[in-house]
C-alpha cells in the first residue's frame, strides 16, 4: 500500500465525491452490497479503490489476495532486478533526462473500477504524469519523471494495489500471449464436456430399451450434469461477466441474451434430472458454449493473422536508406533492418528502430512517442528511440535491434494522435445490436407470458428456445470477418490500412483530393534539364550534399539525377515546408526551391522547376518534365462519375494545360497551395457535406491527411511516415485506387446482406420458437450453424471480391 501521508488529502478528495449509495462510484448498490469500515460498496472493485487510500490495511482483495505474511518489503525484494540499468533499458519505450515511458501488461484489468484506479496513478505516486489503459490488451502505458520516481517504485505500487504486472525480459509480447491463452483452455473444457455429454446421451437419443441402460440412466444424467458444471462456471464465465457488467452499466449488450439463454438451459436441465422429469438438455448446453467459444476462437485467430501489430511487413511498407560498407546508399524496407545496420535518416524522416547516433546533428522530435512537440538535441554516441523524427538535416545511425522488436505500430494507434474518426462513425454492428437485444428479450418475455396462460407446459420451452435461436452471434461476426478479410486482401495487394474502420469510412467518400508532386507524378522516372549559369565544383558538391538531407520528392529526384559527388558535412541546414531548402558550409550558402524563395526575378515557367541560388546570387533552375503515373487518365475516368475530383498542388501552374488534356474536364486544378491552404480547403468543403479522401505524402500534406475523413500516404521508397495518415498505398498500386474504393463499398454491402440473412434466420427461427414448435435442442444446434454460415458467407464473398485485385 501507499503509505506517504502527504498523498492522502488529495486522494480522499476524490473518494469523498461519491453519493450515499456506493461509497466509491455512486451507483445504486444491489442485493450484493458489501460493507467495509462502516461504508457501503456495490462491488469488490470499488471497495479496493477505497482500500488503496486506507492507511491501516495492506491487503487488496480485488481479484487476488496478498499471500499470508506478505509485506511491502517482500514485494520490494521481488523487484530488485528493476534497479539494474540494463534491464530497465530493455523495458522502457522511451527515455531521456525528464521523461520515461513504459507499457506494462496487467492481466487483472477487468472493469471500470480497474481503469479508474490505473488512470489515476498520478494521484498515488509523485512523479507519474500520465497513465493510459488499453482495456482490450490489458496494458497500461505510464509516463513518469525519472527524477521523482522510478520503474521499480511504480511496479511495487501496482503490485500493492492488486494489479501486479507481468514482466518478461525476453519478449514482452510473448509473455502477454502466453498468459492470454484462457480461451484455448475454455474451448478445451467445453469440447471435452460436449463430447462426453453427447456420448452419454446416445441411449436417450435412440430410445434404447436395455435393462442395464435403465439401471444406470440416472447415473448417466448426473454424469452429464457433472460435465456441464465446469462449462457453466469456467468455460462460459466470460459471457456471464460481460452480461453482468453491461447490466450494471445499464447497457443491454450482445452477451445478455446469450448468458440468459445458457443459464436457463442449464437450470432447466438440472431441474429435469433432479425431479426425474427428463434427461435435460445438457448436450445442447455444452454444445452451445462449445460452438460459441469455437466461433470466438476462430475470430481471435483471424485477428491474430490480420493483426498489423504482429506483422510489420504489412504495417510499414516504407523504406529507409541503408549505408553499405563501401558507402553506397540503397533503399531497404524497414522490416529488413538488422542489428548493426548503418542507416541514413533525412530531414523529417522517422527513426524506425532504436539506434545509436553515429554522425550528424540530431534534432529529434519525439511527439510521435510522447504527444508533446519538443525537439531534443542529441550528439554522437547518444541512444535514439524508435518513433522520433529528425527535424534538421541528415544523420547516420546504427540500429540496435531489428524493427520487429520495436513499437512503431503501437504508436500509430496511440490515443494521442486519435482524430476521433472512430467515435464519429458508429459501426453497423453496434447500432443494430443495441436494438436487437431489446427486441429479443421483449419477444421472449411476451411469448412466455402468453404461453403461461395458454399452455404452461410449453412456457419454459418457448422462453429458452427464443433466447437461444435469436442469439445475435451471427450479427456480431458479420462485420469483423468481412472487414478483417478485406483488410488482409488489401494488405496482400500493398494497400495497408490502419484499422478496419477505415474501410467503412472509405465506403462513404464522395470527394477525392490529390497532391501532384510525388502523388500523381512519379519520382522514379523523372527527367530534368538545367538552365542558367554553370555551377562550380564547390557549388555542385554543396547542392548534392544539401539535397541529400531532404525527403521532398523533388529533392530526392534531383539528388538521384545529379552525378556522384563528395558529400559534405553541412554547418547549417533548414527546410521550409512548401518553399525550399537553405544550407551553409563554411562561407558558402545555397538556397534550393521555388523562384520566390531563392529570389529569382522571372517566375514564369511552363513546367515544375527547382531554382538554385548561391551566396544570394541566382544561378539557374532545374526544369522537371513530369512523368505521370501509369494509368492516371484511366483512373480519373473511372472515378469521375462517382466522386468530385480535385488536384491541390504546392507547385506553380506550369502543368495546368497538360493536366487539362489528360484529366476529366470537371477536375478542379488548384496550384500554389501551401500546406495550410490545403488543410483550410478540406475543412471548408467538409462543412458543405463533402466526405473527403486526401492522397498525398506524409511530409507536406500531414495536416491535410489529418483533416480529411481518410488520409492515404503514397509510399515510393520514402520514409516520410505521418501518424496522421489512415493508410499507406504502395506507389506501384496507385492505378488500383478505384478498385479499392469499390471493394470497400462492396464490403459494406456484404455486411448488410449478412445482416439480412441473419435476420431472416432469426425471424423464421423465432416464428417456430414463439409458436412452441421448436425445441431448445434444435435451437441450440441451429444457433451455431447460423454463425458458421455467416462466417462462410462473408469469407467466400470477400475472397471473390479479392480476385478483382488480381486482374
Q: For a pLDDT cut of 70, what percent of the chain falls above it?
A: 72
Per-residue pLDDT, averaged over 88-105, amounts to 83
Task: Show the 3-state SS of 509-524.
Answer: CCEEEECHHHHHECCC
Question: Is the predicted pLDDT of residue 132 greater than 70, yes or no?
Answer: yes
Q: What's the confidence (pLDDT) of residue 723?
A: 62
Tens of pLDDT, residues 256-272: 777 887 888 888 889 88
- Measured in degrees and rounded to the nearest 5, phi and psi for residue 519 equal -110, -65
Taking CA atoms, 121 is separated from 46, 73, 99, 116, 137, in Å, by: 16, 21, 16, 9, 19
57 against 630, higher pLDDT: 630
The 10s digit of each residue's pLDDT in 684-734 is: 999 998 999 999 876 667 778 878 999 998 877 555 556 667 888 888 888
Residue spans in the chain of domains classed CATH 3.40.50.1000: 491-522+630-745
Report H helices in 583-688.
Answer: 595-598, 632-639, 656-662, 675-686
- Of the candidate CATH numbers 3.40.50.2300, 3.40.50.1000, 1.10.287.110, 2.40.50.140, the domain formed by 491-522+630-745 belongs to 3.40.50.1000
Residue 537 predicted with pLDDT over 80: yes
Q: Supply the pLDDT for residue 500.
A: 77
Ranges in the chain annotated CATH 3.40.1110.10: 523-628
Q: Kindly state the average pLDDT of the residues 614-639.
A: 87
User: What is the pLDDT of the chain when averaged over all its residues?
Assistant: 75
DSSP character string of 210-222: -HHHHHTHHHHHH
Q: Which residues pair with 395 in a beta bridge?
A: 345
Compute how many other C-beta atoms are within 10 angstroms of the C-beta atom of residue 466. Answer: 28
**Share of the chain residues as helix, strand and coil, in percent rounded to the nearest 5:** 50, 15, 35
Give the residue-averaged pLDDT of 136-148.
84
Q: Concatenated DSSP letters for 129-183?
A: EEEEEETTTTEEEEEE-TTT--HHHHHHHHHHTT-PPB--SS-HHHHHHHHT-HH
Q: How far is CA 344 from CA 136, 172, 599, 645, 718, in A?
A: 37, 29, 31, 37, 12
CA-nearest of 479, 625, 473 to 554 is 625
pLDDT for residue 362: 87
Q: At 479, which helix (H) or strand (E)?
A: helix 473-492
How many angstroms from the chain centroid is the CA of residue 188?
29
Question: Residues 740-752: what's their mean pLDDT?
Answer: 91
- The residue behind cell 538545367 is 530
Question: What CATH number was assigned to the domain covering residues 523-628?
Answer: 3.40.1110.10
Report the DSSP pairing between strands 617-625 and 608-614.
antiparallel
Task: Using the predicted structure, report yes or no on whether residue 395 has a pLDDT greater than 70.
Answer: yes
**Closest C-alpha among 231, 213, 237 to residue 282:** 231
- Angle between helix 456-469 and helix 256-274 axes, rounded to 10 deg: 140
Largest alpha-carbon pair distance within the chain?
111
Residue 794 has, within 13 A of its CA and on its CB side, a CA count of 31
Tell whether the model's pLDDT for residue 229 goes beyond 90. yes
pTM, two decimals, is 0.62
Per the DSSP assignment, residues forming a β-bridge with 639 are: none
pLDDT score of 742: 93
Q: What is the tens place of the pLDDT at every residue in 55-96? A: 333 333 233 333 333 344 445 567 777 878 878 887 887 887
Lowest mean pLDDT among 211-220, 300-309, 328-337: 300-309
pLDDT of residue 758: 81
**Mean pLDDT in residue range 517-538:** 80
Tell me: the pLDDT tens digits for 369-382? 666 667 888 888 88
> Higher confidence at residue 418 or residue 300?
300
Amino acid at each position: 500500500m501507499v503509505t506517504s501521508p502527504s498523498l492522502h488529502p488529495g486522494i480522499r478528495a476524490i473518494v469523498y465525491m461519491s453519493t450515499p449509495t456506493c461509497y466509491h462510484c455512486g451507483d445504486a448498490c444491489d442485493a450484493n452490497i458489501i460493507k467495509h469500515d462502516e461504508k457501503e460498496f456495490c462491488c469488490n472493485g470499488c471497495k479496493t479503490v477505497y482500500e488503496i487510500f486506507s492507511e491501516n490495511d495492506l491487503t487488496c482483495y480485488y481479484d487476488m489476495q496478498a499471500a499470508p505474511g506478505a509485506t511491502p518489503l517482500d514485494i520490494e525484494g521481488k523487484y530488485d532486478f528493476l534497479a539494474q540499468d540494463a534491464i530497465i533499458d530493455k523495458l522502457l519505450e522511451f527515455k531521456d533526462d525528464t521523461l520515461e515511458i513504459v507499457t506494462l501488461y496487467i492481466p487483472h484489468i477487468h472493469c471500470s473500477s480497474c481503469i479508474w484506479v490505473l488512470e489515476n496513478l498520478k494521484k498515488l505516486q509523485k512523479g507519474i504524469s500520465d497513465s493510459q489503459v488499453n482495456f482490450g490488451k490489458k496494458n497500461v502505458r505510464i509516463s513518469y519523471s525519472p527524477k521523482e520516481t522510478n520503474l521499480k517504485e511504480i511496479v511495487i505500487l501496482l503490485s500493492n494495489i492488486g494489479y501486479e504486472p507481468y514482466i518478461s525480459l525476453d519478449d514482452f509480447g510473448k509473455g502477454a500471449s502466453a498468459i492470454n491463452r484462457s480461451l484455448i483452455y475454455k474451448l478445451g473444457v467445453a469440447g471435452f464436456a460436449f463430447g462426453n455429454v453427447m456420448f452419454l446421451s446416445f441411449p436417450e437419443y435412440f430410445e434404447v430399451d436395455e435393462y442395464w441402460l435403465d439401471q444406470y440412466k440416472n447415473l448417466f444424467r448426473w454424469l452429464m450434469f457433472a460435465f456441464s458444471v465446469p462449462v457453466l462456471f469456467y468455460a462460459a464465465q466470460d459471457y456471464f461477466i460481460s452480461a453482468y457488467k453491461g447490466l450494471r452499466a445499464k447497457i443491454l449488450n450482445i452477451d445478455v441474451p446469450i448468458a440468459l439463454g445458457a443459464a436457463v438451459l442449464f437450470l432447466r436441465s438440472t431441474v429435469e434430472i433432479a425431479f426425474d422429469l427428463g434427461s435435460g438438455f445438457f448436450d445442447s448446453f455444452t454444445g452451445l458454449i462449445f460452438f460459441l467459444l469455437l466461433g470466438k476462437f476462430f475470430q481471435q485467430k483471424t485477428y491474430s493473422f490480420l493483426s498489423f501489430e504482429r506483422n510489420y511487413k504489412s504495417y510499414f511498407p516504407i523504406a529507409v536508406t541503408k549505408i553499405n560498407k563501401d558507402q553506397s546508399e540503397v533503399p531497404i524496407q524497414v522490416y529488413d533492418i538488422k542489428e548493426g545496420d548503418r542507416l541514413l535518416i533525412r530531414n523529417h524522416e522517422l527513426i524506425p528502430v532504436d539506434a545509436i547516433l553515429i554522425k550528424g546533428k540530431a534534432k529529434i522530435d519525439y511527439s510521435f512517442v510522447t504527444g508533446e512537440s519538443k525537439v531534443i538535441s542529441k550528439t554522437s554516441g547518444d541512444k535514439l528511440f524508435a518513433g522520433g523524427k529528425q527535424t534538421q538535416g541528415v544523420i547516420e545511425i546504427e540500429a540496435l535491434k531489428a524493427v520487429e522488436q520495436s513499437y512503431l505500430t503501437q504508436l500509430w494507434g496511440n490515443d494521442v494522435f486519435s482524430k476521433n474518426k472512430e467515435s464519429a462513425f458508429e459501426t453497423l454492428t453496434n447500432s443494430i445490436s443495441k436494438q436487437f437485444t431489446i427486441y429479443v428479450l421483449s419477444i421472449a418475455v411476451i411469448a412466455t407470458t402468453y404461453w403461461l396462460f395458454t399452455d404452461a407446459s410449453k412456457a419454459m420451452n418457448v422462453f429458452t428456445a427464443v433466447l437461444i435461436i435469436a442469439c445475435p452471434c451471427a450479427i456480431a461476426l458479420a462485420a469483423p470477418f468481412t472487414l478483417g478479410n478485406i483488410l488482409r486482401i488489401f494488405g496482400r495487394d500493398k494497400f495497408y490500412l490502419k484499422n478496419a474502420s477505415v474501410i467503412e469510412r472509405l465506403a462513404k467518400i464522395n470527394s477525392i483530393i490529390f497532391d501532384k508532386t510525388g502523388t500523381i507524378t512519379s519520382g522514379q522516372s523523372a527527367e530534368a534539364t538545367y538552365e542558367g549559369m554553370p555551377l562550380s565544383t564547390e557549388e555542385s558538391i554543396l547542392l548534392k550534399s544539401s539535397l541529400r538531407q531532404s525527403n521532398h520528392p523533388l529533392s530526392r529526384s534531383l539528388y538521384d539525377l545529379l552525378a556522384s559527388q563528395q558529400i559534405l558535412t553541412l554547418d547549417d541546414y533548414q527546410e521550409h515546408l512548401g518553399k525550399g531548402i537553405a544550407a551553409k558550409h563554411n562561407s558558402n550558402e545555397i538556397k534550393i526551391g521555388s523562384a520566390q524563395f531563392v529570389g529569382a526575378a522571372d517566375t514564369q515557367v511552363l513546367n515544375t522547376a527547382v531554382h538554385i541560388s548561391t551566396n544570394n546570387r541566382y544561378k539557374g533552375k532545374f526544369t522537371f518534365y513530369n512523368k505521370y503515373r501509369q494509368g492516371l487518365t484511366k483512373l480519373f475516368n473511372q472515378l469521375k462519375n462517382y466522386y468530385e475530383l480535385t488536384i491541390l498542388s504546392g507547385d506553380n501552374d506550369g502543368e495546368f494545360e497538360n493536366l487539362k488534356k489528360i484529366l476529366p474536364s470537371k477536375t478542379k486544378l488548384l496550384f500554389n497551395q501551401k500546406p495550410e491552404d490545403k488543410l483550410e480547403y478540406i475543412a471548408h468543403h467538409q462543412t458543405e457535406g463533402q466526405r473527403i479522401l486526401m492522397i498525398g505524402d506524409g511530409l507536406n500534406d500531414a495536416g491535410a491527411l489529418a483533416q480529411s475523413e481518410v488520409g492515404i500516404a503514397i509510399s515510393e521508397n520514402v520514409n516520410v511516415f505521418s501518424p496522421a495518415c489512415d493508410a499507406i498505398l504502395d506507389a506501384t498500386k496507385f492505378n488500383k485506387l478505384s478498385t479499392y474504393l469499390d471493394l470497400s463499398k462492396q464490403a459494406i454491402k456484404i455486411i448488410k446482406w449478412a445482416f439480412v440473412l441473419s435476420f431472416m434466420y432469426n425471424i423464421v427461427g423465432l416464428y417456430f420458437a414463439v409458436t412452441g414448435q421448436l425445441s431448445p435442442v434444435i435451437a441450440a444446434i441451429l444457433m451455431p450453424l447460423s454463425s458458421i454460415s455467416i462466417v462462410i458467407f462473408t469469407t467466400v464473398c470477400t475472397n471473390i471480391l479479392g480476385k478483382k485485385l488480381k486482374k
